[in-house]
Amino acid sequence: MFSRLSSLSRPRVLAVCALPVASLLAVAALAPLPFTVAQPGQTTNVLGTDRGKPVITVSGAPVRQTQGQLRMTTIVATGPSTEVDLGDVADAWVRRDRAVLPRDAVYPSGRSDEEIEEHNTAEMLKSQNSAVDAALGYLKEDPAKVKVTLHLADVGGPSAGLLFSLGIVDKLAGDGAGGDLTGGRNIAGTGTIDADGKVGAVGGVALKTQAAARDGATVFLVPKAECAVAEEQLPEGMTLIPVTELTDAVSSLRALERGGSVPKC
């Protein structure tokens, strides 16, 4: 092998040596990788309607007419069985409106597409129940008397919990002084919530702030633990408010509505 190569000119030697490297790169470019590519998804005003139905329906207590918006935010990701190659990853890395995430960080491993869809639907239902419990607990309403139904089609996962709770609070109590919790603003956010009102971290925050800005929001409620991630690509003119509990989310919105100071990341 070496004696044969020694008779070739340097450019031809380099060309011969480059062939296996080029072949490897070509294979790598086409080979599926264990990543998911995500982008900003839909936002929905939980104080409004979704596909003609109210997102929040309350019975057993007076309901306020609200102004302003409380927008839950989502991301759209390639499916668990979708093949993502090196070209997809390279394209996403250079785009502001795309993110490359480990597939296992987005979807439970070892499950089919149908199982994952069922899992996400179950997580959404669990989140809705927790959101109702948290809101009614905060308002000291009797869940045996006050019934809340939540409707949101084609969205899975638990990250709308905080916004559901805030929407219930706004519909039942507003800012506590006769006004709207939103102050008439277009407010967006994300965060899980448990029945005690504790707010938890979610994924894709930077993409969610972009979705919020696209749909007109100027304020974004973010789990405090994810402030740094949210600030990395924060859209111009967007105000971030960190939250850890439903109580401080409500307090911050009341302060914002009255022109007071609010926490910052």
pLDDT, tens digit, 9 for 90 and up, residues 75-85: 988 877 777 77
So what's the pLDDT on residue 32?
Answer: 55
Helix axes 246-257, 113-139, angle to 10 degrees: 70
So what's the pLDDT on residue 121?
Answer: 86
**Sequential pLDDT tens for the chain (265 residues):** 433 434 445 455 444 444 444 443 343 444 456 788 889 999 999 999 999 999 999 999 999 999 999 999 999 888 777 777 787 777 767 788 888 877 776 777 777 778 878 888 888 899 999 999 999 999 999 999 999 999 998 788 889 999 999 999 999 999 999 999 999 999 999 999 999 999 999 989 999 999 999 999 999 999 999 999 999 889 999 999 999 999 999 999 999 999 999 999 9
pLDDT, tens digit, 9 for 90 and up, residues 146-173: 999 999 987 888 899 999 999 999 999 9
So what's the pLDDT on residue 247?
Answer: 98
Mean pLDDT of the chain: 86
Structural domain 41-76+109-258, CATH architecture:
2-Layer Sandwich (3.30)
Asked if 131 and 164 count as a contact pair (C-beta separation under 8 A), the reply is yes
So what's the pLDDT on residue 5?
Answer: 39
**What percent of the chain is helix, strand and coil (3-state, nearest 5)?**
40, 20, 35
- Per-domain residue ranges for the chain? 41-76+109-258
* pTM score, whole prediction: 0.83
For the chain, the first-to-last Cα distance in angstroms comes to 63
So what's the pLDDT on residue 136?
Answer: 98
| H helix intervals, the chain | 2-6, 10-30, 86-93, 103-106, 113-139, 161-172, 205-214, 227-232, 246-257
Asked if 103 and 36 count as a contact pair (C-beta separation under 8 A), the reply is yes
